Structure 1
Amino acid sequence: MAQQLSADQFLAVLKKAGVRVVEHGDWRTRNRNHKGPWGPVNGVMIHHTGPYATEAAMVELCRTGYTSLPGPLCHGVIDRTGTVHLVGYGRANHAGSGDGDVLEAVIAEKALPPDNEADTDGNPHFYGFECINTGGGQAWPQAQLDAMYKVSAALCQAHGWGARSVIGHKEWQPGKTDPAGISMDDFRTAVAKAINGGQPPNGTPPEDTPEYAPFPGADYFRPGRRSPLITAMGERLVAGGCGKYSEGPGPAWTDADRRSYAAWQRKLGYTGDDADGIPGPTSWAKLRVPTP
């Protein structure tokens, strides 16, 4: 079901999820529908707000926006007590341009490819929640995390979606980091448990264990190197449409790995010596190789 909920249905779904909801002004009709379509809706997107003076001021900013980006900037703001503040409904300026391949994966409920393009307007396609956090290492309170899981799960249930329909802004738009300090794979695991009637786990902590494998250094990638990390890298290159393998990928570093990685570098816009097929820290971070 991709037909978006009505505002009243949206409110009812959130209340049924057991979260505290506060309605702000004309939220039901506050939107950007005159600028483009609202729907079909295909998923839920989670953000962090960034630095804020007070929570009340941030809720109001998300409602009204600012000169270069008019509000609403989301549908709901989830504060640090777990209260959901409704500030708009309909098309909202929250997702922006992102990767169409990611949208296709969300619709198919498959593993997400790397977000390396900004070719698709996400504002029609996602319910958006801004979650109050500086994004600079600030801890996530348990009550806030629980509310984030619950609203995500409730909307998935209302549409018949699974947890793969929930993504972070950092998985949609290249260069974004929100929600910082949260592993979205762990987040989706919590949402899946909530969808299935289980209780969310004890929160999704800051990333004490990285969600993705850290860059091991350029010298790691040399003839004779064998590692599960190289297999994981190759699988991500294939998922990103850059695989140059006749068979594999496998654990041994080969010329096929190098050619595949060079294709990835070119896809990111690198040329010449910068697209030599040897991973660097920036291209590696964008590839999002899972820890094997």
Structure 2
Amino acid sequence: MRRPVGEQLREWRERRRLSQLELAIEADVSTRHLSFVETGRSRPSRDMVLHLAERLDVPLRDRNHLLLAAGYAPAFQESPLDSSSLKPVAAAVRQILAGHEPYPAVVVNARSELLDANSAVGLFLRDVSPHLLTPPVNVLRVALHPDGMAPNIVNLPVWRAHLLERLRRQITNSGDPTLHTLLDELSSYPGGEHPDALGPAASVALPLVYRHAGRELTFVSTLAVFGAPRDVTVAELAIEAFYPADNETAAMLRKGVGAE
């Protein structure tokens, strides 16, 4: 049974740590009306649902849930990445991935499931157990599982702490119960979270130090998303690109070390 829209809006407000007064001021509505909406004494209009959801930075998928709970049709479509409507997006993704070679890059959804990758990612997957690469592949599981990348991550405790904290932020933002389950699973893996030293690159960006074919490669990564998305799939896409953090790593990758 779908929960009332007012109850869901209140939950989103509390997740964003806003009082009714703060949200009312931000949304330019009366606290009385907002209170009536949250308690179910007043049915919000479609525009009001979207207006409040915008101010609360609710993900597009959940904005559709709010609209359905209020008795309205969803406002945002959800199309497969390989659909005709998303051809420009898919083409842009492929161009970014190809253009980033010889450095690794992946495309994931809101649950960190792998949607696409360039060939350079192979250097991270060389020693990963096949059971972790059966779709849907979760990149966080691949990174931290003892049968995944973890044994080759030289600075595993700090990288593990970074990934777990990033996942916690995703949970706060989305409230997705699947991510709660994933966090519990990943937290149970060995690896620690409190290293004594982060290394010289940490003063600029947290590095990933990865052992590959007897060499230590050092990377920094960036996360990119699409601006002003109007499709749920597009809104949940993220491209993580890994860059060499030192000249030695850059030289090795240009020589094709990932293809060994």
Question: Is the structural similarity TM-score above 0.5?
Answer: no
TM-score for both structures, normalised by structure 1 = 0.21
Per the normalisation by structure 2, the TM-score is 0.23
Going by fraction, where is helix more abundant, 1 or 2?
Answer: 2
Larger Rg: 2
